[in-house]
């Protein structure tokens, strides 16, 4: 069955090639945004980015009343978010648009989900009647495309070993495919937002950009410069390469997978950082939700739920999740990041004593 995406579909999924080609025919120039007739598009574009900043978790709504405005406002919203030159705004907007797509895709039929997936080069097919798998599955995806997008998940049901796979294809429900597409779409939009703006914006556009910066400053005051006070037992210089990379990503507000957040949180708790300081560390994340973050950190700390304090992943598990950036000399023979940390602290202490004796 060959399905052709309609203009209404383009309004829902404005990143598909057909939508991009259509937008090109509109000859929508930056200077034209100063004209009164383009104000509805500009208003909607601003509201998309503003909504991403004001909702928690971040999301962008879908307005069905005008496909033309909904479709055309997407590239303008990308322009506005890029013009803020604020990495937090850009990452949060990309995540909000990706979540919007997920909510729409999860309610589509499998044929339409396949067409959207093909826009990203996915090798995906619809599961037909008579397939030798349970009827719950709607789509089958090449395992390489599956693995590329599943890195952000740490739940056991997403591990390849726990999936139904035949002839190199992983079987998925429509909702699972939509969730994987959310990650693909987020990365796609984040890449668009890195292009930069090399021209002067019309005053009416520049004013909206400044308004978004104001909202960001007031609503997320201090988020990009959070400073975490460590206890005496904690030394960043002694972190193993995997944890150091995750920590630096958290400080900068970069996206961390669920597995990455668990690895970092459990490690920091086990080396003496208070849960409240770990919550502060994640404030610069584009999808920060204080209530949820505090609950998750306290759960890992053993203060909630089963009251079991979790230990960090072992090195083999970190490699499985793609969290190991490569071994350095001290990593050799070590099977756990906490072992690396203790050895590094001991080596540093020994070096300090030697220097004091000289």
Question: What does 174-231 look like in DSSP terms, one character per residue?
Answer: HHHHHHHHHHHHHHHHHHHTTS---SPPPHHHHHHHHHHHHHHHHHTTTGGG---PPP
Pick from 358, 243, 266, 348: which is nearest to 312 by CA? Answer: 266
Tell me what pLDDT residue 88 has. Answer: 82
pLDDT tens for residues 6-64? Answer: 999 999 999 999 999 999 888 788 888 888 889 999 999 999 999 999 987 788 999 98
Do both 201 and 341 map to the same domain? no
The residue among 308 and 173 whose pLDDT is bigger is 173
pLDDT tens for residues 156-215? Answer: 788 899 999 999 999 999 999 999 999 999 999 999 998 777 678 899 999 999 999 999
20 domain residue, yes or no: yes
Tell me what pLDDT residue 20 has. Answer: 92
Do both 267 and 317 map to the same domain? yes
Check if the beta carbon of residue 266 is closer than 8 Å to that of residue 313: yes
Do both 192 and 273 map to the same domain? no
Do both 197 and 235 map to the same domain? no
Cα Rg of the chain, angstroms:
23
Bond into 26 cis (ω within 30): no
Spatial distance between the Cα atoms of 195 and 190, rounded to a whole number of angstroms: 9
Pick from 295, 298, 286: which is nearest to 57 by CA? Answer: 286
Residues of the chain with pLDDT > 90: what percent?
A: 51
Tell me what pLDDT residue 326 has. Answer: 76
Q: pLDDT averaged over the chain?
A: 86
pLDDT exceeds 90 at position 228: no
Do both 187 and 89 map to the same domain? yes
Tell me what pLDDT residue 234 has. Answer: 61
Do both 58 and 185 map to the same domain? yes
Q: How far apart are the first and last CA of the chain?
A: 80
218 domain residue, yes or no: no
Do both 112 and 56 map to the same domain? yes
Residues of the chain with pLDDT > 70: what percent?
A: 92
Spatial distance between the Cα atoms of 101 and 178, rounded to a whole number of angstroms: 8
Spatial distance between the Cα atoms of 244 and 254, rounded to a whole number of angstroms: 13
322 domain residue, yes or no: yes
Confidence of residue 231 (pLDDT cuts 50, 70, 90): very low
Phi, psi (degrees; rounded to nearest 5) at 311:
-95, 155
Domain final position from 213, 244, 279: 213
Tell me what pLDDT residue 107 has. Answer: 94
Domain final position from 213, 233, 265: 213
Identify the CATH number of the domain in which residue 22 sits: 1.20.930
Assign 142 to helix, strand or coil: strand
219 domain residue, yes or no: no
Spatial distance between the Cα atoms of 314 and 302, rounded to a whole number of angstroms: 19
Tell me what pLDDT residue 39 has. Answer: 93
Domain final position from 182, 213, 244: 213
The tokens describing 41, both together, are 């598009």
Do both 56 and 185 map to the same domain? yes
Do both 130 and 261 map to the same domain? no
Domain enclosing residue 55, as ranges = 7-213
Do both 59 and 170 map to the same domain? yes
Do both 199 and 347 map to the same domain? no
pLDDT tens for residues 237-286? Answer: 889 999 998 998 888 777 788 889 999 999 999 988 999 999 988 887 77
Tell me what pLDDT residue 159 has. Answer: 87
Angle at 212 between CA 209 and CA 214, to 5 degrees: 110
Q: How many domains does the chain have?
A: 2
Do both 203 and 266 map to the same domain? no
Residues 6 or more apart whose CB falls under 8 angstroms from that of 94 comprise 186, 189, 190, 193, 286
Tell me what pLDDT residue 179 has. Answer: 94
């Amino acid at each position: 069955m060959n399905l052709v995406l309609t203009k209404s579909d383009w309004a829902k999924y404005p990143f598909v090639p057909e939508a991009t080609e259509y937008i090109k025919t509109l000859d929508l120039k930056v200077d034209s945004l100063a004209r009164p007739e383009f104000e509805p598009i500009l208003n909607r574009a601003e509201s998309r980015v503003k909504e991403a900043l004001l909702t928690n978790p971040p999301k962008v709504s879908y307005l069905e009343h005008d496909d033309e405005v909904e479709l055309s406002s997407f590239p303008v919203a990308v322009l506005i978010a890029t013009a803020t030159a604020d990495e937090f705004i850009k990452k949060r907007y990309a995540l909000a648009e990706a979540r919007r797509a997920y909510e729409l895709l999860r309610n589509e039929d499998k044929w339409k989900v396949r067409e959207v997936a093909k826009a990203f080069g996915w090798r995906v097919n619809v599961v037909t009647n008579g397939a030798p798998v349970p009827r719950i599955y709607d789509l089958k995806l090449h395992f390489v495309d599956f693995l590329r997008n599943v890195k952000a998940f740490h739940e056991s049901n997403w591990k390849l070993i726990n999936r139904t796979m035949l002839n190199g294809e992983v079987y998925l429900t429509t909702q699972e495919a939509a969730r994987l597409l959310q990650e693909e779409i987020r990365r796609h939009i984040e890449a668009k937002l890195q292009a930069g703006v090399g021209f002067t914006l019309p005053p009416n556009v520049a004013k909206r950009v400044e308004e978004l910066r104001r909202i960001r400053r007031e609503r997320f005051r201090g988020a990009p410069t959070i400073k975490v006070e460590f206890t005496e037992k904690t030394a960043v210089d002694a972190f193993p390469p995997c944890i150091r990379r995750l920590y630096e990503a958290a400080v900068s507000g970069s996206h961390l997978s669920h597995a990455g957040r668990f690895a970092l949180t459990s490690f920091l708790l086990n080396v003496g950082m208070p849960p409240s300081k770990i919550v502060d560390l994640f404030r610069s994340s584009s999808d920060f939700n204080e209530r949820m973050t505090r609950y998750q950190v306290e759960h890992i700390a053993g203060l909630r739920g089963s009251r079991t304090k979790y230990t960090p992943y072992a090195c083999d598990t970190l490699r499985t999740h793609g969290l190991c950036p490569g071994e350095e000399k001290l990593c050799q023979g070590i099977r756990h990041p906490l072992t690396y940390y203790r050895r590094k602290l001991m080596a540093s202490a020994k070096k300090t004593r030697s220097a004091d004796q000289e």
